[in-house]
Structure 1
Amino acid sequence: MQRNRFRRTAVLTAIAVFATVLAGCAASGSRVQAGDDAGPPVSGGTLKFGVLDAPANLDPHSGSSYPESLISSNVTDKLTYQNPDTGAIEPWLAKSWEINDQLTQFTFHLRDDVTFSDGSKFTADSVKENFDLLGRGDKGLGIVPVTAYWVGYTGTEVLDASTVRVSFDRPNAGFLQALSLYFSGILGHSTLQLSKEQRAVARNIVATGPFTIAEHVYQQKTVLKRRPGYAWAPASRKHNGEAYLDQVEIDVIPEAGVRTGALRAGTVDAILDVNNTDEAPLRAEGYRIVPQLIPGRDISFDFKTDKFPTNDRAVREAVKLGWNRDALAKTVLTSSYKVSTSVLSSRVPGYSDFSQDLKPDQAKAEQILDAAGWKKGSDGIRVDKDGRRLELALLGIDNLVNNKPAYQLIQQDLRKIGVDLQLNVLPIPDYTAASTQKGRWNVQVANQSRADVAVLEQMYSPQYGNISALTPDNPAYQEAIDKLSALSKTLDSGRRAKAAEQAQRFLLNEQVLTVPVYNPAQVTAAAPRVHNVGYEAQSRNVFYDTWLSPK
């Protein structure tokens, strides 16, 4: 047992080594909370909160869009908590844990004072039921496993009423952090026995969190209600006990200008997805602007290597060098965001700065294309020796205010070097449907929020997401598996940092599988009476500590 106690200490130490990365971001303004000096918090009231997108799937285990994960972040609790200020993994529903030396077995000691919103008790059986569905799915219920995080899951063993052991057939250094993510929220038995369709219905969501879902009208609003008796928040939160707010009404307001107008008119108290041009005026008018950079994989152009012409490394390299990052910073982004300097956000422990390798150089980009046999046609767009145009079909999500303007700027710059970038920037439901159309897209653009370097294995390894569509006959296929799996094989801070740097270099320079664009942020604007506007570590708004001054 002495060995196990040491193992947990080593894990927490390894995670905390990079804490200055996150703390530095907080100091620079990328993570702040508003109104902390406003005096003692006051309980009561309804916060009206305007958002861009409508949540379609309320099942916390499968709802993946920002508005869906925002709701699940407020109604569910997790076994572990990632401190948004330090990046450290802290106890939550699990009081403590041990990990074996191979990073394949995780033993959790659970709180015994937690209940679900239907009054049933949280126990080790609750964890096993949740984890078996997350790791294995259930065909009869239409539940698919969450494979990106649970590859190699072999099962959860109940050791006693408050102890479980989770096992994998391979090392999983990122597992503790994965358990802090929105999809890992613990659900009650009455929810877990339902079909996929029934689990997405608001009244069927039973969890342990500080809020419950009181009402849901699709494409209009979702109302969260304070749960009486809640008393098991992580120790580093601003308070314990029940949430301060009686209710949170999340209103869907797709147009940025209308959201801003609603805030000014007092129809809502705070808004998310603040339009760039509105940040400075709102701040000048006395509203609080509260940004937080989203950790994980930045907004990136991920190339499909199995499709012409992005199967040509020269094309990928030219796109990497062929557009102006300084212009993006000056004309599209505000100080709430950052131009990418790696495929990882600077808020992720293990981030390395590749800004020198990402410097724009259109002359070099043209030389690369010339050498690869791409000649400019009469309309300025290049063609290969067979007369095929250098056209790239891009699929992106229109869920962040900067996305479309950023892609349009890049489109204009790439046209100057002879690349025709064809933009398809769609709302989340349309994007999700279009992303299943295999073989249609050269470039797929999105970000993945996760404050752990394992996000790179999750997205790019052929054993996981394989977003670059590497095939076994590609020389980079096995190299990708080897370099990305190294991220999950150690919690030693030095070895994991080295593996992280090598993985980023492989993706950005050696194979040019991705071209990062910018680090997105969540930007909230709040009326002065709204206090403690905050985010969890993955930059989802959480309302547990938020309170309102009386009108």
Structure 2
Amino acid sequence: MSSRRFSRAAALIAVTITAAVLAGCAAPANRVAGGGDGGTPVAGGTLRFAVLDAPANLDPHSGSSYPESLITSNITDKLTYQNPETGAIEPWLATSWDIDPELTRFTFHLRDDVTFSDGSKFTADSVKENFDLLGFGNKELGIVPVTAYWVGYSGTRVLDPRTVEVAFTRPNAGFLQALSLYFSGILGHTTLQLPKEQRSLPQNLVTTGPFTVTEHVYQQKTVLKKRSGYNWAPASRKHNGEAYLDAVEISVIPEAGVRTGALRAGRVDAILDVNNTDEAPLTREGYRIVPQLIPGRDIAFDFKTDLFPTNDRAVREAVKLAWNRDALSKTVLTPSYKVSSSVLSERVPGYVDFSGTLKQDQRRAEQILEDAGWRRGADGIRVDRDGRRLELALIGINNLVNNKPAYELIQQDLRKIGVDLKLNVLPIPDYQAAITQPQRWNIQVANQSRADVAVLEQVYSPQFGNMAKLAQGDPVYQQAIDTLGAVSKTIDPQRRAAAAQAAQRFLLEDQVLTVPVYNPAQVTAANPKVHNVGYEAQSRNVFYDTWIEPR
């Protein structure tokens, strides 16, 4: 079998992201991109860290919210590591890998010095057991497969105690990157034998990471403790061996002002989800601001083509053109964030700048609606030939500080062209419940963090997320499958870049299935005595390199 070694695959994945990341690195002394802030690390101490949302599900394979994946990113290791600064895919629990030319078979060579937190040894059998659950699920245990990333999975073969072969029925160019994501953390045998309800209990979490969960009180706090003897971090990390911190106490403080007050009062050492209005004052007061753009699909208005009136392309095009992105940048966002210039974050390999397509042109937007038969009603809102109002129902999440203000700005601009945008911006649990109810939404707003262009196929292809609800009889249905699926069929840099560009053009120009709004970021504010506040590639906080000056 011919193969490609890992070094080539890593180089291909890294090409685009490197320039984008490095371009954004300049920052004031107390505004640190990437968390590297110098000093000689000191071991010991407990980091008191406050967050907005409460982690509910600590199972690394199914906990999907940011606070959940923040926890699991610190207690699990993965086969591969995506370098957050370069985007390269690097060895972690796998020392190297081979890929067949069809991108359907991946052979991994594993470390032999890794143990789980219960003392058991990490082997090829560990990988097979994890991957079979991720790829196939287990009905008896209530485990569903992670279909978006494991589509076409046909199984894992143990070739010897340190070698496994993972097979797919279709090309999977994004698989190495998918293995670096938070849900791909390797779990121990005893955890994997448990039903879904028991897998997320702290006492049942057997992992290989630098921290373990020792306490979890829902909606209050989660405590991570350093694992003694840990010594298998990726080579590009700032150090090897055990974590510097003895422990991390993660407390839930939903109100932004209260979180900031707790930081100023010294009750916590660092906070996540910094309110926009607090960034500048905290910077002036000497606190360290550490932002990182979230790679993947930006916060975007995803249109449902199976509903009136977003089944009309003219309506979707008008929404794209109607609102002022400069105003969003100046009145809502801080320098930690960026207005979208594509459906992809600029931190994703394959990103292409479509800012020309997304430029505001209200006159053209109104003309498009006029030509499509939408006329102004008595209240200024347009109606079609049957008298139906141009009213759009939007559902979104309020878990990021910019979301609601951004949507309200767009709402105002849309009203100027005769579009009535109804906003429903909800907490995560209410949002998750609402999208399953009979109430139908014209626009669903969310983002998907993944630093690989395959995120577009994952979200929009009718074979997977089908976010636009394309119907099988629609001629665009197969076109979407082919155009979006092309990104998963090659790791050749030129061919994948071309496929990525075509996928973005299809979504933004050809069919206007989505209108990106802004690239969200995670923003941490820390006491200046806290050093190396950092993130993994998908912008989850990781505490392995973090250290605190003695109090």
Q: What TM bracket, shorter-length normalisation?
A: over 0.9
Letter in 2 for 1:472: Q
Q: How does 1:165-180 map to 2 (within 5 A)?
A: 165-180=165-180
**Separation (CA, whole Å) in 1 of partners of 2:533 and 2:153:** 37
Letter in 2 for 1:450: R
Shift of 1:15: 1.6
**Separation (CA, whole Å) in 2 of partners of 1:190 and 1:118:** 9
- Give deviations 1:70-123, integer Å, cap 9, x for gaps: 001000000000000100000000000000000000000000110111111111
Does structure 2 retain, via aligned residues, the 8 Å contact 1:381–1:389?
A: yes
Point out where structure 1 has 5 or more consecutive residues left out of the alignment.
Answer: none
Match for residue 343 of structure 1? 343
Shift of 1:439: 6.0
**Separation (CA, whole Å) in 2 of partners of 1:136 and 1:463:** 17
Match for residue 213 of structure 2? 213
> Judging changes above 3 Å, is the alpha-carbon distance between structure 1 residues 528 and 201 closer, same or farther for their aligned structure 2 residues?
same
Please say if 1:27 is aligned against 2:25: yes
Match for residue 92 of structure 2? 92
Letter in 1 for 2:79: L
- Give deviations 1:280-335, integer Å, cap 9, x for gaps: 10000000000000000000000011111111101100100011101000000001
Match for residue 15 of structure 2 among 8, 14, 17: 17
**Separation (CA, whole Å) in 2 of partners of 1:231 and 1:331:** 46
Which shifted more, 428-437 or 146-155? 428-437
**Separation (CA, whole Å) in 2 of partners of 1:512 and 1:31:** 36
Q: How does 1:103-122 map to 2 (within 5 A)?
A: 103-122=103-122
Q: How does 1:310-325 map to 2 (within 5 A)?
A: 310-325=310-325
Shift of 1:221: 0.6
Does structure 2 retain, via aligned residues, the 8 Å contact 1:7–1:101?
A: no
Please say if 1:281 is aligned against 2:299: no
**Separation (CA, whole Å) in 1 of partners of 2:415 and 2:285:** 40
Match for residue 436 of structure 2? 436
Q: Percent identity?
A: 77
Secondary structure of the residue that 2:457 maps to in structure 1? helix
Secondary structure of the residue that 2:127 maps to in structure 1? helix
Letter in 2 for 1:18: T
Secondary structure of the residue that 2:214 maps to in structure 1? strand
What's the C-alpha RMSD, in Å, of the aligned pairs? 1.2
Which shifted more, 438-447 or 466-475? 438-447
Shift of 1:25: 4.0
Secondary structure of the residue that 1:318 maps to in structure 2? helix
Shift of 1:62: 0.5
Match for residue 245 of structure 1? 245
Secondary structure of the residue that 1:140 maps to in structure 2? coil
**Separation (CA, whole Å) in 2 of partners of 1:473 and 1:382:** 29
Secondary structure of the residue that 1:17 maps to in structure 2? helix
Shift of 1:11: 1.5
Secondary structure of the residue that 1:158 maps to in structure 2? strand
Shift of 1:475: 1.6
Q: How does 1:155-174 map to 2 (within 5 A)?
A: 155-174=155-174
- Give deviations 1:404-441, integer Å, cap 9, x for gaps: 10001101110111111111111111111112236611
Letter in 2 for 1:543: F
**Separation (CA, whole Å) in 2 of partners of 1:134 and 1:22:** 32
Q: How does 1:80-479 map to 2 (within 5 A)?
A: 80-437=80-437, 440-479=440-479
**Separation (CA, whole Å) in 2 of partners of 1:400 and 1:285:** 24
Does structure 2 retain, via aligned residues, the 8 Å contact 1:34–1:288?
A: no
- Give deviations 1:490-540, integer Å, cap 9, x for gaps: 000000000000000000000000000000000000001100000000000
Does structure 2 retain, via aligned residues, the 8 Å contact 1:344–1:351?
A: yes
Shift of 1:474: 1.4
Match for residue 36 of structure 1? 37
Letter in 2 for 1:32: A
Secondary structure of the residue that 1:106 maps to in structure 2? strand
Aligned residues: 548
**Separation (CA, whole Å) in 2 of partners of 1:182 and 1:474:** 35
**Separation (CA, whole Å) in 1 of partners of 2:293 and 2:10:** 23
- Give deviations 1:456-483, integer Å, cap 9, x for gaps: 0000001111111111111210000000
> Judging changes above 3 Å, is the alpha-carbon distance between structure 1 residues 32 and 480 closer, same or farther for their aligned structure 2 residues?
same
Does structure 2 retain, via aligned residues, the 8 Å contact 1:31–1:293?
A: no
> Judging changes above 3 Å, is the alpha-carbon distance between structure 1 residues 150 and 418 closer, same or farther for their aligned structure 2 residues?
same
Shift of 1:13: 2.6
Q: TM-score, normalised by structure 1?
A: 0.98
**Separation (CA, whole Å) in 2 of partners of 1:410 and 1:36:** 37
Does structure 1 retain, via aligned residues, the 8 Å contact 2:21–2:86?
A: yes
- Give deviations 1:36-68, integer Å, cap 9, x for gaps: 322x21111110111000011111101100000
Which shifted more, 191-200 or 95-104? 191-200
> Judging changes above 3 Å, is the alpha-carbon distance between structure 1 residues 438 and 153 closer, same or farther for their aligned structure 2 residues?
farther
Letter in 2 for 1:493: P
**Separation (CA, whole Å) in 1 of partners of 2:416 and 2:319:** 11
Shift of 1:171: 0.2
Secondary structure of the residue that 1:206 maps to in structure 2? coil
> Judging changes above 3 Å, is the alpha-carbon distance between structure 1 residues 181 and 488 closer, same or farther for their aligned structure 2 residues?
same
Shift of 1:391: 1.1
Does structure 2 retain, via aligned residues, the 8 Å contact 1:26–1:85?
A: no
Secondary structure of the residue that 2:229 maps to in structure 1? coil
**Separation (CA, whole Å) in 1 of partners of 2:516 and 2:355:** 10
Secondary structure of the residue that 2:140 maps to in structure 1? helix
Which shifted more, 199-208 or 174-183? 199-208
- Give deviations 1:333-372, integer Å, cap 9, x for gaps: 0011000000000011100000011001111111111111
Does structure 2 retain, via aligned residues, the 8 Å contact 1:35–1:530?
A: no
Secondary structure of the residue that 2:452 maps to in structure 1? coil
Q: TM-score, normalised by structure 2?
A: 0.98
**Separation (CA, whole Å) in 1 of partners of 2:472 and 2:24:** 42
> Judging changes above 3 Å, is the alpha-carbon distance between structure 1 residues 105 and 439 closer, same or farther for their aligned structure 2 residues?
farther
Match for residue 523 of structure 2? 523
Does structure 1 retain, via aligned residues, the 8 Å contact 2:17–2:347?
A: no
**Separation (CA, whole Å) in 2 of partners of 1:483 and 1:72:** 34
- Give deviations 1:240-264, integer Å, cap 9, x for gaps: 0100101101110101100100000
